[in-house]
Structure 1
């Protein structure tokens, strides 16, 4: 799980939002990101659930986020070893782990 924290205000990140959305689209399209969204309240940042990447790769991906490159956000990365998952999600997780191995 990648937790995005704004380093300033949400308004500080506004000039980089379009590039950030492109970044999210690219990683959703390649299957790395399973879910992304703003936290509530949105001033806190956002959360991304990634799958099929090791910690080093997750850190490299986070470092490429235009928010991070611009210095308006930072990431906190938590590795989760899923013990249980909804059956529909379990199928996705299993498929991602075999394609990334």
Structure 2
């Protein structure tokens, strides 16, 4: 299953900033284990970020709750699950 995770800051950026190093470590760990396919800042960056994730929704929900931003209460996740109808052949392997 494919999931779009919208990460929205719920606190001023000066309260978010101290949690950035932990968030980056969290992202790196989840990219390495294959849960996250893509992550990045929104434009403008003060809104938050977007992550594309794969796996069962329950797993992705647990992973999102582990984000230091979520733990500290400075960001909230919205998870949109997508059932791909059409997909490029070169992306099919990534989505399982």
TM superposition score normalised by structure 2? 0.91
Aligned length: 93
**Higher mean displacement: 65-74 or 4-13:** 4-13
**Selected match of 1:15 from 14, 18, 28:** 18
TM superposition score normalised by structure 1? 0.87
Please give the secondary structure, in 2, of the residue aligned with 1:79: strand
CA RMSD of aligned residues (A): 0.9
Q: CA deviation at 1:86?
A: 2.1
**Selected match of 2:46 from 32, 43, 47:** 43
Give the number of the structure whose residues are more often strand, by fraction.
2
**Selected match of 1:87 from 83, 86, 89:** 89
Deviating above 6 A after TM superposition, structure 1's stretches of 4 or more consecutive aligned residues are none
Deviations along 1:64-89, one digit per CA (max 9) or x if unpaired, are 00001111001000000011122211
Greater relative contact order: 1 or 2 (C-alpha under 8 angstroms, separation 6 or more)?
2
Q: Give the unaligned 5+ runs of structure 1.
A: 95-101
**Higher mean displacement: 18-27 or 55-64:** 55-64
Instruction: Name 1:68's counterpart in structure 2.
Output: 70
Instruction: Name 1:99's counterpart in structure 2.
Output: none
